[in-house]
Structures are given as structure tokens and as C-alpha cells.
Structure 1
């Protein structure tokens, strides 16, 4: 398993444990547990997670998890969420 896959699996474990996963908390914990090379500062100067890790996380979660842009977190898909999209407001 590559380091990005390990981190994505950690993210999934945290998501399953708490029922959601906030980007700021995840990025902070990834920095502490796995190192700075897996995160970066986005255009708003907030810590964000490198794209290869997010790609692996998406593969692990399938269609059951969506990104909530307004809350900057991942949550379980609701029946009211549009099908075929991985991002909601």
C-alpha cells in the first residue's frame, strides 16, 4: 500500500468513526501523523490535502460520501443529494 493509500484509509477510518470528516482537522492530523509533504496551503491560506490522497479517498468511499463545500467537510450522501455528483453546497 502506498503512502497516499494509507492516508486515504486513515481518512476513511476517521470518517467512519465520526460520521463525517472536516478538511481542516484532517489536514492537521495528516501533517502530524504523516508529514507536511501530504498537505499544502490553498489559495485562502488554509491547510488542504494533496490531490492524490483525495483521489484514493474517493475510490475508497465510492458514491456514499459527498464533499460539502459550505462546511468544508465530507459527509454521507443523503437521498436529497443529486445523483452522480460528489460535491454539494
Structure 2
């Protein structure tokens, strides 16, 4: 396999891992008993169970989810999931959440 083909295969594998991690996030919220997911728990699970590069250490020294995973997650959860800033968690959207808002206070 030439270098260009290897790079393309690696990119496809990484893109698949990003999609899988984003799908896992959504499944935990939509299928979980409380319909919520704490950011810290999600980051730790992704770090342990998915490919390298899907998490990183942030400025506070905590494990954080890669922006690519979060962007993909936002795209597949539009209208379904809300970010709770105060608790640093995601939850299912309720009728009380303002339309078009992805974040609750």
C-alpha cells in the first residue's frame, strides 16, 4: 500500500471512530435510564474504549472529548439533546427548553 493510500485508510478509520464515539454519546442519552450523560463520564469512557485521538488533556488537566467528536455529536443530536452548563452534562430535550437552543442554564 502506498503512503497516500495508507493515509486515506487512516483518515477513514479515524472518521469512523469519530462517528462511533458520537453515536455512543447519543445512545447513552436517548437509551439511558435517566436520559442524561455527564461529560466527565463520557470522556473517560471514550478514552478507554475508542481510538486514540478522540480525547485530550485540557488546560485543567482533565480528560476532554475531541472537538471533532463533539461537532459530529451536535450534528446527529440536533433537536434531541441539550447541554446543561451547570452540571456539565447532556440530557434529552424537554418541552420546556426554548426552540433552537442547544444549551440550558
Q: State TM-score, norm by structure 1.
A: 0.87
Q: Distance in 1 between the 2:17 and 2:41 partners?
A: 19
Question: What 5-or-longer segments of structure 1 have no aligned partner?
Answer: none
Misfit runs of 4+, over 6 Å: none
Q: Distance in 2 between matches of 1:42 and 1:34?
A: 18
Match of 1:6 among 8, 13, 20: 20
Counterpart residue number, 1:29: 45
Contact 2:17–2:51 at 8 Å: present in 1 too? Answer: no
Bigger relative contact order, structure 1 or 2 (CA pairs below 8 A, ≥6 apart): 1
RMSD: 1.5
TM-score normalised over the length of structure 2: 0.75
Task: Give the C-alpha shift of residue 77 in structure 1.
Answer: 1.1
Unmatched 5+ residue regions in structure 2?
1-14
Aligned to 1:80: 96
Distance across 2 between alignment mates of 1:45 and 1:59:
27
- Asked which structure has the greater CA Rg, the reply is 2
Match of 2:80? Answer: 64
- In the alignment of these two chains, the number of paired residues is 89
Q: Tell me by how many angstroms 1:36 deviates.
A: 4.2
